Amino acid sequence: MQPPASDIIVAHAPSEAMLASYYAVALRTQGASAAPYTPPDGQSPQVIASQVRNSRALVVLVTDPTPGWAGALLAAYRRLAAAERWRRIAIIRRGAGQLSLEMQGLPWIEATDKPVEEVAAEIVLLLAGAPIPAQAPAIVPAAMRVSAPAKPGVQAGPPQWPGVQPIAQPLGDELMTRRALLVGGMGIAALAAVAVGTSAVLTRGFGLLASSGTINNTTIVPPLLFTSSGATLYAVELAKGTLRWGFTADAPIRPSEMAGEETIYAISERGTIYALNTSDGKPLWQASIPGSVVVRPVLAGNLIYTGSDDHHVYALNQTDGSIAWKFETGDAVQARPTVGNGVLYVGSRDHRVYALGAADGKLIWRSSTGGPVLSSAAIGSDVIYIGSDDRNLRALRIADGHRRWYFTTGGRISSSPVLAGDTVYVGSQDGNVYAIQADTPTLRWRYRTGGAVLASPVVANDVIFTGSSDHHVYALGTDGIKRWSYQAGDGVNGRLVAANGVVYAASDALYALDAAKGSVVWRFAAEGKSGYFSPGITQ
């Protein structure tokens, strides 16, 4: 396994993967590009050192007992640093174990009783002021070895270390206040997600863990927006767009669209389900299901619903991730389930839409389409609305799944429709956003964008917000007239969210836009990554 491309590599033993992940995320909050890395078993330190040679710094997490590979890896890396003169090394020591001979003379931090945020700040300063490592010392008899060196002084470093990240601008008081969120509620409007996206989740404020690890009831964490890019889940402060914490999973990860005050659930593409503490990102439990998973979890009652490429819909218990029930379809399930009135509606790549008992997974009905179903359903009073790759939006009767009507567009429909009043809004890969009368397949209007519309629209205050692969976010009136558009750095293909006068859209970064004007409130892009998808929201 090759290490990730980052300025700072946090090398660690397999048993310390979670802790190393916390350190890497904390370093990112300091403006550094950092990633955890587990050296592969069976490879020589020289080979491993060559794999991380493109990093600007190697930080080794040393616990008690000290892992055997650490000293050899540092010796090999410091030879690179001494020869090429631009690398730095630091050691994080936790526990009572002594530093090995190969570690002596290198800068280190005693981190046993310190919160990760404090250690991260020390690492950045230490790396900035650390001298170029000399060659590893020659082996000397054990009797002559010196115990752990005194902790070096921390000096101010050059201004170019670390690479500076864009500073997010605070949210204006006229758009949202912390008091309004905590006291007045969220006032949300959100919609079903496309299957290809991950998601972001918004929570209210809650108690913050103090550095001692105990609950500090006098400190309130501001509302958080959860989003993901690659294998990392980020908790972002809603008002400022600044990173609160992050969690690195075993593969690209997608959070649920709802989070409580205590738990956020997320699932990786390897089928690993994580229950994380919302205040600090620490795992409460994890479990797994078979197959590759691209479906974000959906919470309803005490169950977590998702789908897998192993052709199954799964319902998992929120307490431990155990499987409550599963239902087999004819192909991969890559559409987000929708739950309403005790029924789960979900599409499959087998060209069918299924209605299942939400509590027991028993089949109520199934309805055939002319193509794979990647769209999620919008639930009306007696019908559901759902799109398909056969280019049609269907209205299916809730009672039996029989088709009430269908409307044909010029392209595949993987966008999830939204029902607002007597109108259904949906995007198509033909580049149009459609407004269709809810009771009959009558077109009210369509708006042409410059690219395929994979994003799922959201309606708030009589404005339809959606995105397009032409890199734009669009605000459309209920008459189909554009109010404004904003150009992002890449396609806007995931779920959009509108709340308290702000629209959240995912592209090359996660954008918070003024819903009335389309101007940027803040922009979040951790360590320069791109590919933030499908923001979601919860009360």
Summarize pLDDT for 265-295 with one digit per residue, the tens: 999 999 999 999 888 888 999 999 999 999 9
Q: What is the mean pLDDT of the chain?
A: 78
How would residue 481 be classed by pLDDT, with cut points 50, 70 and 90? very high
Q: How far apart are CA 346 and CA 311, in angstroms?
A: 12
- Cβ atoms 496, 488 nearer than 8 A: no
In sequence order, the 6+-apart residues with CB closer than 8 A to the CB of 25 are 34, 232, 234, 243, 245, 246, 247, 248, 281
User: What pLDDT score was predicted for residue 271?
Assistant: 95
How would residue 207 be classed by pLDDT, with cut points 50, 70 and 90? very low
Tell me the mean pLDDT in the region 417-442: 96
User: What pLDDT score was predicted for residue 59?
Assistant: 86
Which contacts (CB < 8 Å, 24+ apart) does range 175-184 have? 175/500, 175/501, 175/502, 175/514, 175/521, 176/238, 176/239, 176/500, 176/501, 176/502, 178/205, 178/222, 178/223, 178/239, 180/500, 181/205, 181/222, 181/223, 181/238, 181/500, 182/220, 182/223
Q: Order of strands across the sheet with 482-487? A: 458-460, 463-467, 472-477, 482-487
In sequence order, the 6+-apart residues with CB closer than 8 A to the CB of 111 are 92, 93, 94, 119
Quote the percentage of the chain above a pLDDT of 90. Answer: 42
Top mean-pLDDT range of 43-47, 121-125, 205-209: 121-125
Burial 426-455 (b: 16+ CB within 10 A, else e): bbbbbbbbbbbebeebeeebbbebebbbbb
Evaluate if residue 81 carries a pLDDT over 70.
Answer: yes
Higher pLDDT, 385 or 172: 385
